[in-house]
Amino acid sequence: MKIAIFTDTFLPKIDGIVTATLSLAMGLANNGHKVCIIAPEYNNFKEFKYKNIKVTRMNSIPALFYPEFKITNPFSIRVYMQLKKEKIDLVHFQTPLTIGMQGIIIAKLLKVPLIGTFHTLIADPKYLKHVKINGAIAQGISWAYARAYYNQCDLITCPSESVKNELLEHTFIKPIKVISNGIDFSLFDNSNWKKVKEKYNPNGKTLLFIGRIAHEKSIPYLLDCFKLVLKKLPKTKLILVGDGPQFKEIKNYIRFLKIENSAILTGKIEHENLIKSGIFKAADLFVTASTTETQGITMLEAQVNGLVSIGMDAGGTKELIKNNYNGYLVKKGKKEFADKIVKLLKDSSLIQKMQRNTLKEIKKHNMKKVIEIWEKEYQSLIK
C-alpha cells in the first residue's frame, strides 16, 4: 500500500503524536508499505530518513496559540501533484490543523479513503488555557471545530475507549474504532541504568515523569503531591523529563515549594537518547497527574520497561492502569496520590508483584500487533 500521513507536529519536535506517528510509519515501512509523511518545515535539523518513508516538508510559521506547533498553507499544489503522481491509496491525518486540512482536501481531490486519528482532547479546559480562553462556549466551539475535521473521514480512530465515548457524546457521526498507539518493545536499552541512578539519586527512591511541561499535564498538582511524599520519605527524588511553554513557571513553582534539591527538571532529552538512557530502570515508579491523556505514550514506554505507574482515574490513563493490579488510580486528591506513592516505595514485594502484572498487561500494545490492525483497516477501505 501507499499511505500518505499528514501531521501538523513532527520531528524535530517530540511529543506523543510525533512518537505515535513515527511508530506507525516505521511499522508500515518495515512491512513493505510506502509511506509519505507531510509535515511542517523546521530550521536547522537533520531530516528523518528511513527505508520506504519519504518526508515532504511545508513552509510554516509558529502557531500563536502554541509556538511549538506550526501553521502552514492549508493546500499545496506541489504536495497534491506529488501524491497524485505516486498514486497514493489512502490519506491518514494525525492532527486537526492546517496540514490536517490539507490531508482532507487532497483525499477528496484524489478520491481516496480518509482516516483521521483523534489524539488530543483540544476542548479540555487545560488545553484551552494555552489560547487564554475557557468556559462552556469556548469548549463548544472547540468541539464543533474538531467535528468539522473528523466528520469528513471514512473512519475515525482513537487510542482508547474513553476517547471514543467522548466523541460519540459530542456527535461525531462517522465510524469510530479504538486502536492503541502501540509501543515497540525492541527500542529500549537500560544498560546504563546504574550511571543514571548514581547521577540522580544513589541513596533513595526515584519517581519519574516524562512529558510536555504544559498546563494539560497538571504538573503543579504533581509537585504538591510530591511535597507530601517528602514529609515521609525525604530522600525521594522526582525527575521531570521534558520541555514546554510552562517550563519557567514550573521551575519557579519548585522554588516556591522549596523542593529544589528533590525535584529535578532535566529539560528536553531527545527521544532516541531517552529510550537508551537507562532512566526507566533507574526509576522506581512512573507518576503523572494529567487528566487529559487519550493514551499516554510516555506511560506505555514506562510500562514496557516494567515501571509501575500511578495516575489519575481519568481519560486514557484509567485504561493503562488497572487499579491495585499494575499500579494505582487516584480519585480523591493529593493526599491519596502521595499515600499511594509512599505505600509502594515502602513495599518492595508489592512493587515487584505489580511489575510482573505491568509486563503482562503491556503485551496487548505490542507495535507488531497494532500494525496488523492498521493494515486490516487500511485494506478494508482501499477499493
Assign domain 2-182+366-381 to a CATH class.
alpha beta
**Cβ atoms of 207 and 285 closer than 8 Å:** yes
**Cβ atoms of 278 and 189 closer than 8 Å:** yes
* Mean pLDDT in order along the chain per 10 residues (383 residues): 96 91 97 97 90 96 70 94 97 96 97 96 64 72 93 97 95 97 95 96 96 94 98 98 95 98 96 95 97 95 98 96 98 95 97 98 96 98 90
| Whole-number pLDDT of residue 69 | 73
| Whole-number pLDDT of residue 332 | 83
- What nine digits make up the cell of 203? 541513596
Domain boundaries, the chain: 2-182+366-381, 185-365
| Whole-number pLDDT of residue 54 | 97
Amino acid identity of residue 45, one-letter, is: F
Which helix (H) or strand (E) segment is 62 a member of?
strand 61-63
**Per-position b or e across 261-293, b if 16+ CB within 10 A of its CB:** ebbbbeebbebeebbebbbbbbbbbbbbbbbbb
Among 191, 207, 189, 235, smallest CA distance to 327 is for 207
Length of the chain: 383
DSSP code for 364: G
Q: What are phi and psi of 254, to 5 degrees?
A: -60, -40
| Whole-number pLDDT of residue 44 | 82
CA–CA dist 375, 370 (Å, integer): 9
Which CATH topology does 185-365 take? Answer: Rossmann fold (3.40.50)
Strands 206-210 and 285-287: parallel
